[in-house]
Amino acid sequence: MKLFVTGIGTEIGKTVCSAILTNHFKADYWKPVQSGDLHYTDSMKINNWVGHEVCCYPETYRLQLAASPHQSAAAEGKQISVEDFQLPDTSNTLVVEGAGGLMVPLSDHEFMIDLIEKLQLPVALVVRNYLGCINHTLLSIMALRERGLSLKYLILNGSFPTDTERVIINYIEKETHIIRIPEIDSITKENIETISNNLKHVYNG
């Protein structure tokens, strides 16, 4: 299985959720584009939270500026194309983590959703509760449907009001599985392992 982890926005816990999935599936990990934080990349976080035995494939782009990939690339005189990316050659389960949400630009004309479409991967969509999250979640699901991309997992990261959760779950297809991640006070290898060991995929039926 290969899976693309994206989110309804930035700072909603994609890397933590990717660590949990990587641990749960005993998967390899790949971050195609790292923009900024090169001193402590998402791949480094996965190594710390899952364990150094996990296989993290090198990023296709490592960019200095902590900004949208198209802006970070432009600052270095580069231009990103989805044709630059090739899935790592592995027979193991692979967790691929995107940058930001589906419409984060890789260039002036290509977006993260174009990369998902090029790689032809099922999607795990990470959702976190905040004012506006319903709108952002449903728009993200609409965009995936428009491209004919499979939403394999909806990941509810943290606690949600019942009314919010109900609207979101009513909107997804029955084939989509729901994963609930509890609030994490401290992100440690031990906590990641405990959550991944207790992970349940709830069928929406």
- The residue type found at 121 is L
Of 2, 14, 26, 31, which residue is the catalytic one? 31
E-assigned strand segments in the chain: 2-7, 28-30, 33-35, 56-57, 61-63, 94-101, 123-127, 151-157, 177-181, 201-203
d(CA 193, CA 205): 28
- The residue type found at 189 is K
Token pair recorded at residue 105: 């630009």
Active site residue 200: no
d(CA 6, CA 17): 10
* Residues labelled as active-site residues: 31
